[in-house]
Structure 1
Amino acid sequence: MTSPWIAVRRLLAASLWMALAAQAAPMRLAVDATDLDRRVLRVQQQIDVERPGPLTLRYARYLPGGHGPYGDVTRLAGLRVQAGGRPLAWRRLAGDPFAFLIEVPPGVATLDLDFQYLAPVRGSGERISITPALLGIEWETVLLYQDGPAVDAQRITPRLRLPAGWQEASALRDAAGQRAEPDAQGWRQYREMSVETLVDSPLFAGRHLRRHALDDSPGAAPVSLALLADEPGALAATPEQLAAHRALVAQADRLFGGQRPFRHYELMLALSEEFGGMGLEHHESSENALRPDYFKDWADAIRGRELLPHEYVHAWNGKAHRPADLLTPNYHQVMGTALLWVYEGLTEYWGHVLAARAGLSTPEQAVDRLATTVAEVQARAGRRWRALADTQIDPAIGPGHSREWEDHQRQQDYYDEGLLLWLEADLAIRQASGGQRSLDDFARRFHGRAPGRHADGSIRPQPYTEDELFAALHAVQPLDWRHFFHQRLDQPGRDAALALTHSGWALGWQADESRFQQHERGWEGDSGTERPQNLAHSLGLRVIGNGTLTQVFWGSPAYEGGLTKGMTLLAVNDLAYKPERLDAALRANTGGDAPLRLLVKDGERYRSVTIDWRQGPRQPLLQRQTGQPDLLSAIYRPR
Structure 2
Amino acid sequence: MRSGASKKEGHGLRALLLAGMIAAALGPAPAQAQVPKAQDRPYPGVMQVRVDATDLDHRVFQVRQRLPVQPGRLALLHPRYLPGAHGPYGEVDRIAGLQIQAEGQVLPWTRDTVDPSAFHVEIPKGVRQVEIRHQFLSALNRESGRVVMTREMLNLQWISMVLYPAGHRVDRIQVQPELRLPTGWQQASALRVQEGGSGDPEVLRFAPVSLETLMDSPIFAGRHLRRIELDPPGQPRPVVLNIMADSPEELQASEAQVEAHRRLVQQADRLFASRHFEHYDFLLAISERMGGIGLEHHQSSENGVRPGYFKDWAHRPGARSLLPHEYAHSWNGKFRRPADLLTPDYNVPMQDSLLWLYEGQTDYWGRVLAVRAGLVSPEQMRDTLAQTVAMLSHRAGRVWRNLQDTTNEGAMARSRSEPDWSNWQRGADYYPESTLIWLDADTLIREKSGGQRSLDDFARRFFGIQDGRQQPLSYRFEDIVAALGEVQAHDWARFLRERLDSHGPGAPLDGLARAGWRLDWAEQPSEFQRHQAEDGEWRNDDFSYSLGLVLKRDGKVERVLWDSPAFRAGMSRALTVVAVNGTAYKGERLSAAITANKTGQAPLELLVREGEQYRPVRIDYREGLRYPRLVRSAGGTERLDAAILQPR
Normalised TM-score (structure 2) = 0.92
Aligned mates of 2:399, 2:203 — CA distance in 1: 56
Q: Answer yes or no: is 1:516 the counterpart of 2:528.
A: yes
Question: How many residue pairs end up in the alignment?
Answer: 610
Matched, 1:404 2:420: yes
Task: For structure 2, list consecutive stretches of 5 or more residues without a partner in the other structure.
Answer: 1-35
Letter in 2 for 1:362: S
Counterparts of 2:197 and 2:612, CA distance in 1: 59
Determine if the alignment matches structure 1 residue 365 to structure 2 residue 380: yes
1:468-547 matched pairs, under 5 angstroms: 468-496=479-507, 497-520=509-532, 529-547=537-555
For 1:345, which of 352, 357, 360 is the aligned residue? 360
Choose from 253, 269, 273 the match for 2:269: 253
Give 2:48's match in structure 1, choosing from 16, 19, 28: 28
What is the distance in 1 between the residues matched to 2:402 and 2:505? 9
Aligned residue runs from structure 1 range 222-237, under 5 A: 222-237=238-253
Instruction: For residue 304 of structure 1, give the secondary structure of its aligned residue in structure 2.
Output: helix
Q: Say whether 1:335 aligns with 2:346.
A: no
* Matches of 2:232 and 2:580, distance apart in 1: 59
List aligned pairs for 1:19-418, cutoff 5 A: 19-21=41-43, 24-49=44-69, 51-122=70-141, 124-176=143-195, 184-257=200-273, 259-400=274-415, 403-418=419-434
* CA–CA separation in structure 1 for the residues paired with 2:151 and 2:435: 37
- The alpha-carbon distance between structure 1 residues 401 and 256, as it changes in their structure 2 partners (threshold 3 A), is closer
Once the two structures are TM-superposed, the CA of residue 141 in structure 1 deviates from its matched residue by: 1.7
**Which residue is 1:10 aligned to?**
none
Cα deviation, 1:503-537, whole Å, max 9, x if unaligned, reads 111100110001110112599xxx6x332111000
Structure 2 CA distance for aligned equivalents of residues 521 and 42 of structure 1: 40
- Is residue 2:569 matched to residue 1:549? no
Counterpart-to-counterpart distance in 2, 1:494 and 1:433: 31
Structure 2 Cα separation of the partners of residues 373 and 19 of structure 1: 47
> What letter is aligned with 1:501?
A
* Distance apart, 1:603 and its partner CA: 1.2
Secondary structure (helix, strand or coil) at the match of 1:31 reads strand
- Out of 636, 641, 646, which is 1:637 matched to? 646
**Matched residue type, 2:316:** A
Counterpart secondary structure, 2:135: strand
Larger radius of gyration: 2
Question: Which whole-Å CA distance do the structure 2 matches of 1:373 and 1:123 have between them?
Answer: 27
Aligned residue in 2 for 1:9: none
**1: CA distance, partners of 2:140 / 2:181:** 19
Q: Kindly indicate whether residue 438 of structure 2 is the aligned counterpart of residue 422 of structure 1.
A: yes
Tell me how far 1:625 sits from its aligned partner: 1.6
- Look up the equivalent residue of 1:415 and give its one-letter code: Y
Are the equivalent residues in 1 in contact too, given 2:37–2:166 (CA < 8 A)?
Answer: no
Letter in 1 for 2:525: E
Q: Is the 8 A contact 2:75 2:120 kept in 1?
A: yes
- Alpha carbons 1:35, 1:41 under 8 Å: kept: yes
Give the CA deviation at 1:155. Answer: 0.7
CA apart distance, 1:401: 7.3
Distance 1:138 1:346, change over 3 A: same
CA gap of 1:613–1:14, structure 2 versus 1, over 3 A, is: closer
| CA distance in structure 2 between the partners assigned to 1:375 and 1:183 by the alignment | 59
User: 2: CA distance between counterparts of 1:550 and 1:14?
Assistant: 45
Contact 2:604 2:620 in 1 (8 A): yes
Letter in 2 for 1:133: E
Distance 1:297 1:94, change over 3 A: closer
Contact 1:452 1:461 in 2 (8 A): no
CA distance in 1, matches of 2:467, 2:91: 32
CA drift of 1:142 comes to 1.8
Give the letter for the 1:479 counterpart. Answer: H
Q: Which residue of 2 aligns with 1:579?
A: 587
- Percent identical residues: 49
Q: Give the corresponding residue for 2:33.
A: none
Question: After superposition, what is the alpha-carbon deviation per residue over 1:143-177, rounded to whole angstroms, capped at 9, x for unaligned?
Answer: 1111111000011101000000000010001335x
Task: Quote how far apart the aligned CAs of 1:592 are.
Answer: 2.9
By how many angstroms is 1:134 displaced? Answer: 0.9
C-alpha contact (below 8 Å) 1:379/1:536 kept by paired residues: no
User: Displacement of 1:637 after TM fit?
Assistant: 0.8
Distance in 2 (CA, whole Å) between partners of 1:472 and 1:441 is 9
Quote the residue 2:629 is aligned against: 621
Deviation track 1:471-516 (CA, whole Å, cap 9, x = no partner) reads 0000001111111111111112253134412111110011000111
Q: Supply the distance in 1 between the matched residues of 2:111 and 2:304 (Cα, whole angstroms).
A: 35
- What secondary structure is seen at the aligned counterpart in 2 of 1:610? strand
Matched residue, 2:571: 563
Q: Following the alignment from structure 1 to structure 2, what is the Cα–Cα distance between the partners of residues 566 and 129?
A: 31
Counterparts in 2 of 1:157 and 1:401: CA distance versus 1, 3 Å: closer
Aligned-partner SS, 2:562: coil
* Structure 2 contact 368–644 (Cα < 8 Å) conserved: yes
* CA distance in structure 1 between the aligned counterparts of 2:445 and 2:142, rounded to whole angstroms: 50
Tell me the SS of whatever aligns to 2:415. coil
1:316-373 CA-to-partner distances (Å, cap 9, x unmatched) read 0000110100000000000110000000000000000000000010011111111111
Post-superposition shift, 1:181?
7.2
